[in-house]
Structure 1
Amino acid sequence: MRNWSAWGGSTTPCGRSRPGCAGWRAAMAIDPDPTTAVGADPTAEFSPVASAALSEQAAIDPRFWEAQYAKKTRPRHSEWWVFFHFLAWVKPYWSKLLLSVTTSLLGVTVSLVPPWLSKYLVDQAFPQRDWNVFWSILVAYCAMDVFWRISGTVNSILSYYIDLWVSLRLKRHFFQHLQRLSMTFLHGRPIGEHMFRANADIDAILRMITDLLPALIRAVYEFGLILVLTTFLDWKVTVLVLIYALPYTWFAHWLATVQRHLDRDARLRWQRYDSGVQEGLAGVMVIKTFARHRHEVYRYTHLFVDGWRQWSKFWWVARFREHSIGAFLPWIKEQGLRLWFFRMVIRGELTYGSVFPILSYMGRLTNPIQQIVDYVQEIRVALVPAERILETLEVLPAVTDKPGAKRMPQLQGSLRFEQVSFNYEDQRPVLHDVDFAADLGQKIALVGHSGSGKSTIVNLLLRLYPPTEGRLLLDGIDLADVRMNSYQQQLGLVMQDTYLFCGSIRENLLFSNLNASEEALVRATKQAEIHDWIEQQPEGFDTDLSEGTRLSLGQKQRLGLARALLRDPRLLVMDEPTSSLDSPTEQKLLVTFRQACKGRTTIWVSHRLNTVVDADLILVVHEGRIAERGTHDELLALNGQYKGLWDLYFGLAAPTENTLGS
């Protein structure tokens, strides 16, 4: 456990330490709503659903806004706009960054003084045997060396902590924003791409802000100071320097531009390679089942070779630039200047002492020129991932709390869909006038073929999307009028495939209710009939699920149910909870699930009709509409779509268009 007391921190009553320094508090500050964090909302004139759809399409294709809404939105951000946008993230630490840059500039200034002092050493101390001048210069040398080392250490420490704080703040904001985006956007791109942006792209931005920018300022300052010093020594030297610097800078800039384009292409190919590796690991079951090992190895090799070839081009250009700009041209410059200076000394136009500082400054001159070109190009290279990050940050969440939204009171369980419709902009409507109601303790079942709209109804209920038309009422309160978190914290959800995080059983269960007591934990696991199995584990609730503990599908579903019940929700959503189970396991779990649903309003989505025969109301969803409604017996007597699905499920009838859907 880290001790934060050195930073002004304190210790919580439970013994955990917490940070107290201003920088750390600023890094951990809650970020503003992402819809306003990056400026004006470009989709303000559209409906919420249309805004989400348009924003997501814009994120997938950056040319979307330019082609479709050029007159309604601002133009593509300039490099300067992107640069200053992310530079604003350093604002809480601006004083520390300024101190870091100041110490760095002082170090540069001090490092340029010794060559100037060597002039007096050669022209006065040695010829005149002036020991006072000699010892004064020696003491000055030692003092400046100590100061240079101290300033370098202070600068390194400040740079380290600035990088740490800004890294935490920016990565936290980006992850928080991703969590607020719709499932459509998150699933619309490979996970590897999101991971690449959250790591490599943000690291490139951090390097631009905390490393490259201070280094560029230092290089410009060093170049300017050298010009000033050489002007005092001999103005002709300054003219020669400028004559040399102009073509040198142009050639260095041209090579750096070529290198930047090659670097951009190489990064894109390595990003595809990372996504390919992630897909290969995620789909290993399918690969093994279909015996596609050779194909995947070939694809993996092709992606790697593609990235390696592009990176090789970048490497060769970088090496050529290093040896031409960094070695050959400076060598020619130094030899030419030596001949020029020795000629001036022989003619009596320069003293011997003046030659030493001039040669020293000329030797150092190439370095800041090359650094300026390099850092400018590297900053421009870093602006490419910065634009990608900004592109994601400008995607609007599908659902946001409207101004004045209130906290949802304790749910009682009364639910009503009131003429609800849902569709994306310029797409076929998904739901049409869905209308039904449920009281506390009732079980509402949603059945129908795949793609009929069942999952969309659940997504609207979970507030993953807002309805295009109509209202969702809970206990008579419109969900649009309440804060999203205050409502979602009172829901229980069991999905088709329960996702368990790396960690202990206790940590996975407490994910739904961090403040649950040990008694509530035991009660929920007993209700889910998984408590006995947990007690049989060597470490009980503290058994680590990431260390080789194998769980059956039934055990995972029971843990998922226990996690949902730990909230003691009045509204329970069961989304295909038994679809991946075999029949014996399903029958055992159905008893547990039905017992858990007592006293709660339950929305049960299922393709397996035997799991919904006890529902108080069955809704048959077909092409986004409620085609039929009633109890199991009523729908069978109706001899409609439900009867066809029932007969098909038990093998009593051949598939028809109504049972399979169009």
Structure 2
Amino acid sequence: MLFTIKQLGGDFLNTKILKRILSYTKPYKKFIIIAFISAIINITLTLLTPILIGRGVDFIIGKDNVNFSRLLNILILLLISIIFSALFQLIMTRCTNIISYKTIKDLRIDVFNKLNELPLKYIDSNSHGSIINGVINDIEIISDGLLQGFSQLFTGVITIVGTLIFMLSINIKIALIVVIITPLSLFTASTIAKYCHSMFRKQSEVRSELTGYVEEMIGNQKVVKAFSYEDRSIESFEEINKKLYKYGQKAQFYSALTNPVTRFVNGIVYAAVGIVGALSAINGNLSIGNLSAFLSYANQYTKPFNEISGVITELQAAFASANRVFKILDEEPEVQDKSTAIDLENSDGTVDINNLCFSYNKDKSLIENFNLKVNPGERIAIVGPTGCGKTTLINLLMRFYNINSGEIKIDNINIDNITRKSTRGLYGMVLQDTWLFSGTVRDNIAYGKEDATLEEVIEAAKAAHAHKFIMKLPNGYDTVLSEDSSLSQGQKQLLCIARVMLSKPPMLILDEATSSIDTRTEIYIQKAFNKLMEGRTSFIVAHRLSTIKEADLILVMKDGKIIEKGNHKELLKENGFYANLYNSQFATT
């Protein structure tokens, strides 16, 4: 087996990945020990069976030469051996299953927790389908291949070593023949494995690509159908699917080739043992019973190699998947809070932005030398063309991204000296894109305040003008929402607005918060927002300029810079960019 590991080293048996996987089994050492002991006992009893059968054969050879009393004793020992072998086999299987599933559970928890630690930059720059594939499919492949495969590898090694010991105890010369021919089986398996790994790695990459593409198409079916993109999407799918077929076929071919090749070599081993053993029996150097036992051992000795070669397929896929999973775990997490960072539980709403610079791409700047002072309770509206940096500014206020230089202060405290959790807790945020999770209406509204009473939830829903349609749902506030919920986009947005109204944060961020709501409801919501914004610093990103007339300060942004600022009337008088933008929305034909 040392030869096998050396041959399979490098790509196939990546020791770093193997060590990381095995590190997850440390909490379950007692199960490993029990499985190890059970495996040894099980295999020892299994290997004892051919000797008992061989002795039984020796007691019945020859006319009128059957020793029934000795034969009965052997049958009793054989029965006991089989029963206890099965028992310890059950114990071993139970322990290996516990190790496997608990280890995979811990690994999946670590990956999910890691996703919560990663910066939004990683989530935004990677295919969501690929990430989902890593959390679900890749970890399942690790479970099926690596952990369960290694349990077979483990028992196979013990079987090989145990069989050799028993064969050597019967006849050293014949046992040496088996040992001499064995490397041929190992060499063929390892040679094929090298080709196999490359194909499984490519198969894993293309599978992830296919998962991401399917996720994109399913998640945007309305757009696909609206632009009659069905045929082209099928063509793209088939192109990726062909690549998956190509690599999958080659991977399976090479892995499937391993088993018959090793079986052929093992057949040579069995034939050699049969011929040499028969000659030894004829010469009187070996009893018929021992020859029978030796042939059984030769067969048992070769079986683990066949099983191990069969496991290679799963191990190859598992290593490729494990590599992808650990890439997620090795990603740089979001910059940790300073050890001296404080929890700012409340704020008067003072925000200072000084010489702020930020860019998503180092080669292309977006926001440069941005300065803004916001007094408590002020309403700041941010307008401008697409790509000017409106949403980026909101992302920086919420610390979803780290600024390149400059500073943002809340209550005259640099946000770098405030924990991220408490910084984000100071803002109530309503986005253009709604998000509701699988749960009741009440749970969704109380997402930011889990201890909220039903009365508080209803009050918030009424303020958001959502109470009326909620009561028309099958179970009112206890109605369970899911992906196929029949809520309109506007109704979903009302629930998101109610969520913020319930939490009553010291500051608000409204990023196109009423974009999916009809004009009549929007008027009511604006009144509710006006009430909610009283005494609260608010940042409003809007394309509908009619919704920001009452803002204390309107920032007109272009190319990451403030080009105009003032209230609605002042900006109209300037007759500049804002005035043109406003007039273009309300121009009469």
TM-score of the aligned structures, taking structure 2 as reference length: 0.91
Instruction: Indicate conservation of the 8 Å contact 2:178/2:273, yes or no.
Output: no
Query: Equivalent residue for 2:53?
Result: 118
Give 1:246-645 correspondences, 5 Å limit.
Answer: 246-326=183-263, 328-375=264-311, 378-424=314-360, 426-546=362-482, 548-581=484-517, 583-645=519-581
C-alpha distance in 2 between matches for 1:299 and 1:168 = 35
Residue 144 of structure 1 is aligned with which of 54, 78, 81?
A: 81
Query: Equivalent residue for 1:242?
Result: 179
Query: Equivalent residue for 1:176?
Result: 113
Describe the shift of the 1:320–1:88 C-alpha distance in structure 2 as closer, same or farther (beyond 3 A): closer
Residue 198 of structure 1 is aligned with which of 115, 118, 135?
A: 135
- 2:407 counterpart SS class: strand
Structure 1 residue 373: Cα displacement = 4.6
Describe the shift of the 1:292–1:466 C-alpha distance in structure 2 as closer, same or farther (beyond 3 A): closer
Instruction: Indicate conservation of the 8 Å contact 1:191/1:275, yes or no.
Output: yes
C-alpha distance in 1 between matches for 2:315 and 2:259 = 18
Instruction: Indicate conservation of the 8 Å contact 1:442/1:600, yes or no.
Output: yes
Structure 1 residue 498: Cα displacement = 1.2
Between 521-530 and 583-592, the greater mean CA deviation after superposition: 583-592
User: Match of 1:169, as an amino acid?
Assistant: D
Identity %: 26
**1:461-497 CA-partner distances (Å, limit 9, x unpaired):** 1111122222222223322122222332342110012
Runs of at least 5 residues in structure 1 that lack an aligned partner in the other structure: 1-75, 654-662
**1:398-457 CA-partner distances (Å, limit 9, x unpaired):** 442122322222233222223322235733222222222323322111111111111111
Query: Equivalent residue for 1:156?
Result: 93
**1:383-403 CA-partner distances (Å, limit 9, x unpaired):** 222221221222213442122
Structure 1 residue 295: Cα displacement = 2.4
Describe the shift of the 1:378–1:536 C-alpha distance in structure 2 as closer, same or farther (beyond 3 A): closer
C-alpha distance in 1 between matches for 2:231 and 2:361 = 42
User: Match of 2:383, as an amino acid?
Assistant: V
Instruction: Indicate conservation of the 8 Å contact 2:441/2:477, yes or no.
Output: yes
User: Match of 1:298, as an amino acid?
Assistant: E
C-alpha distance in 2 between matches for 1:205 and 1:483 = 36
**1:252-294 CA-partner distances (Å, limit 9, x unpaired):** 2222333333333333333333223222211211121122222
User: Match of 1:167, as an amino acid?
Assistant: I
Instruction: Indicate conservation of the 8 Å contact 2:255/2:310, yes or no.
Output: no
Query: Equivalent residue for 2:17?
Result: 82
Instruction: Indicate conservation of the 8 Å contact 1:101/1:214, yes or no.
Output: no
User: Match of 2:387, as an amino acid?
Assistant: G
Structure 1 residue 143: Cα displacement = 1.7
- 2:45 counterpart SS class: helix
User: Match of 1:598, as an amino acid?
Assistant: E
- 2:57 counterpart SS class: helix
User: Match of 2:166, as an amino acid?
Assistant: L
Between 552-561 and 449-458, the greater mean CA deviation after superposition: 552-561
**Residues 1:211 and 2:156 aligned together:** no
TM-score of the aligned structures, taking structure 1 as reference length: 0.81
Query: Equivalent residue for 1:10?
Result: none
Structure 1 residue 598: Cα displacement = 2.1
User: Match of 1:264, as an amino acid?
Assistant: R
Structure 1 residue 583: Cα displacement = 4.3
Describe the shift of the 1:319–1:216 C-alpha distance in structure 2 as closer, same or farther (beyond 3 A): closer
C-alpha distance in 2 between matches for 1:78 and 1:135 = 49
Query: Equivalent residue for 2:8?
Result: none
User: Match of 2:208, as an amino acid?
Assistant: Q
C-alpha distance in 2 between matches for 1:530 and 1:324 = 69
Instruction: Indicate conservation of the 8 Å contact 1:220/1:372, yes or no.
Output: no
C-alpha distance in 2 between matches for 1:366 and 1:255 = 18
C-alpha distance in 2 between matches for 1:482 and 1:164 = 40
Count of matched residue pairs: 577
Instruction: Indicate conservation of the 8 Å contact 2:357/2:406, yes or no.
Output: yes
Instruction: Indicate conservation of the 8 Å contact 1:108/1:222, yes or no.
Output: yes
C-alpha distance in 1 between matches for 2:309 and 2:225 = 51
- 1:573 counterpart SS class: strand
**1:212-266 CA-partner distances (Å, limit 9, x unpaired):** 2332222112111111111111111122112221112111222233333333333
C-alpha distance in 2 between matches for 1:547 and 1:195 = 17
Instruction: Indicate conservation of the 8 Å contact 1:257/1:377, yes or no.
Output: no
Describe the shift of the 1:174–1:422 C-alpha distance in structure 2 as closer, same or farther (beyond 3 A): same
Structure 1 residue 330: Cα displacement = 3.0
Describe the shift of the 1:81–1:315 C-alpha distance in structure 2 as closer, same or farther (beyond 3 A): closer
